[in-house]
């Protein structure tokens, strides 16, 4: 009997380590805590009870730590998320250039009517290709005239869809690119210049540039803008000027009161090269420098729940400093002034502008223009 009891006791002793595995020695990696060590292991307090208590306590501690850390983590996430902030309200005008330096996308549609001299100073499109059809001995004969063949348009309609993207490198510097898609429909031609050409469509002259904020306060924003025009439009189709050009400008945004903003611009369009002048042997180019300016007050008449609406009146002018226009006329000294009226609706980071413009001077780029624009800042 004694021998049987001894054998049973020995079996119990051997079965304990076999069921629980090798006992863990307390040390630096021991996660069971002082209670485990003081108790001398699971066997001292009962392995099942102590394991359940320890696991529940550890779970509660971890849950408490996660719950306590959650607001702080959420706070850090919110602080790191980029947000659109402006010192002033966004630009409200439609034709005067935007002085705001920010990341944005702009989609614009223009419909111009009765363009009477589309090759003036090669500002809209290149010198009429009809000069290549003149007799060889004619002083205006130009076999390299790059513009549309078969006629000098005296009346032309045009539509342009423009995609513009701007990216703010920081609060004061941004880079941008502009891609225009143009369609033209000639309505009439100067007599004796050819039978005329058909409607044309395609990509116009792409441009890119940089904006630099010179001043940025709650009331005043002054921005320098520089852009380069690249001759990507097909000049034979009336889609481009066939020469590069660059354009420096200063843009100003004044907030005069809580409801009145005044925005203005001044700049100069400078062609690089261009077609031969008229007469062909003369010095200079058919293209000419164009100085431009504009001013536009806006009046916020509705402002509620991040939605604003402001009517806008703008006066925009151009002074052609030199160059030619069809048919063989000197364009120097030409002054053009347009009156624009419209309105802009803004909501959150987006806005929509609709406006109409009319030429106030006898000389014009177009008699009338309609513009619709969508802008989204981010």
> In the prediction, which pLDDT does 85 show?
54
∠ CA(158), CA(161), CA(165), 5° rounding? 145
* CA 81, 87, 93, 95 torsion-angle sign: negative
The residues, any chain, with a CB within 8 Å of residue 280's CB and separated by 6 or more, are 131, 139, 140, 141, 142
Under a CB-based contact definition with an 8 Å cutoff, are residues 301 and 311 in contact?
yes
Residue with tokens 């000098």: 152
What confidence tens digit (pLDDT) does each residue in 242-287 have? Answer: 999 999 999 999 999 999 999 999 999 999 999 999 999 999 999 9
- Distance between CA atoms of 247 and 270, rounded to whole angstroms? 6
- Distance between CA atoms of 309 and 8, rounded to whole angstroms? 94
In the chain the first and final C-alpha atoms are separated, in Å, by: 90
- Distance between CA atoms of 212 and 6, rounded to whole angstroms? 94
- Distance between CA atoms of 154 and 130, rounded to whole angstroms? 13
215 by DSSP, 3-state: which? strand
CA neighbor of 367 nearest in space, from 181, 154, 150: 154
287 by DSSP, 3-state: which? coil
Place domain 104-377 in its CATH homologous superfamily. monomeric porin ompg (2.40.160.40)
> In the prediction, which pLDDT does 251 show?
98
DSSP for 77-140, please give it: HHHHS-----SSPPP--SSSPP---S-EEEEEEEEEEEES-TTGGGSSSPPPGGGGGS-TTSTT
| Structure token digits, residue 154 | 């005296």
- Distance between CA atoms of 251 and 91, rounded to whole angstroms? 11
- Distance between CA atoms of 61 and 46, rounded to whole angstroms? 23
286 by DSSP, 3-state: which? coil
What confidence tens digit (pLDDT) does each residue in 55-106 have? Answer: 444 444 344 434 444 444 444 444 443 444 556 678 999 999 999 999 999 9
Q: Which residues of the chain have pLDDT under 50?
A: 1-84
Under a CB-based contact definition with an 8 Å cutoff, are residues 353 and 371 in contact?
yes
Under a CB-based contact definition with an 8 Å cutoff, are residues 140 and 328 in contact?
yes
- Please give the torsion angle defined by the CA atoms of residues 11, 15, 17 and 20, in that order, rounded to the nearest 10 degrees: -160
- Please give the torsion angle defined by the CA atoms of residues 249, 268, 336 and 356, in that order, rounded to the nearest 10 degrees: -30
146 by DSSP, 3-state: which? coil
Alpha carbon separation from 109 to 106, 158, 182, 365 (Å, rounded): 10, 11, 10, 17
Residue with tokens 């008699």: 367
The residues, any chain, with a CB within 8 Å of residue 327's CB and separated by 6 or more, are 128, 152, 190, 193
> In the prediction, which pLDDT does 194 show?
87
Under a CB-based contact definition with an 8 Å cutoff, are residues 111 and 162 in contact?
no
Domain boundaries, the chain: 29-76, 104-377
């Amino acid at each position: 009997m004694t021998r049987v009891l001894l054998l049973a006791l020995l079996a119990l002793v051997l079965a304990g380590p076999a069921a629980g595995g090798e006992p863990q020695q307390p040390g630096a990696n021991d996660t069971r805590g002082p209670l485990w060590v003081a108790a001398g292991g699971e066997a001292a307090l009962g392995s099942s009870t102590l394991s359940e208590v320890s696991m529940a306590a550890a779970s509660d501690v971890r849950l408490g730590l996660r719950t306590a850390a959650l607001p702080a983590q959420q706070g850090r996430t919110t602080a790191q998320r980029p947000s659109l902030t402006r010192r002033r309200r966004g630009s409200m005008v439609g034709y005067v250039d935007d002085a705001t330096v920010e990341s944005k996308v702009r989609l614009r549609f223009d419909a111009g009517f009765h363009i009477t001299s589309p090759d003036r100073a090669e500002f809209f499109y290149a010198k009429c290709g009809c000069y290549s059809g003149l007799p060889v001995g004619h002083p205006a004969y130009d076999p390299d005239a790059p513009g549309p063949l078969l006629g000098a348009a005296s009346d032309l309609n045009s539509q342009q869809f423009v995609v513009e993207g701007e990216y703010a490198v920081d609060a004061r510097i941004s880079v941008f690119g502009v891609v225009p898609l143009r369609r033209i429909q000639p309505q009439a031609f100067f007599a004796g210049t050819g039978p005329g050409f058909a409607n044309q469509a395609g990509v116009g002259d792409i441009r890119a540039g940089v904006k630099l904020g010179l001043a940025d306060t709650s009331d005043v924003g002054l921005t320098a803008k520089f852009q380069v025009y690249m001759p990507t439009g097909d000049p034979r189709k009336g889609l481009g000027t066939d020469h590069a050009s660059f354009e420096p400008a200063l843009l100003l945004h004044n907030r005069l009161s809580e409801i009145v903003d005044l925005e203005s611009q001044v700049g100069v369009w400078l062609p690089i090269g261009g077609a031969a002048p008229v007469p062909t042997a003369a010095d200079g180019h058919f293209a000419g420098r164009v100085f431009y300016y504009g001013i536009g007050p806006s009046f916020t008449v509705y402002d509620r729940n991040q939605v604003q609406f402001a009517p806008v009146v703008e006066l925009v002018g151009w002074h052609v400093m030199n160059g030619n226009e069809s048919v063989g006329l000197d364009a120097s000294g030409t002054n053009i002034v347009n009156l624009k009226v419209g309105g802009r609706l803004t909501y959150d980071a987006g806005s929509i502008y609709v406006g109409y413009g009319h030429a106030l001077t006898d000389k014009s780029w177009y008699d009338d223009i309609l513009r619709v624009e969508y802008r989204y800042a981010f």
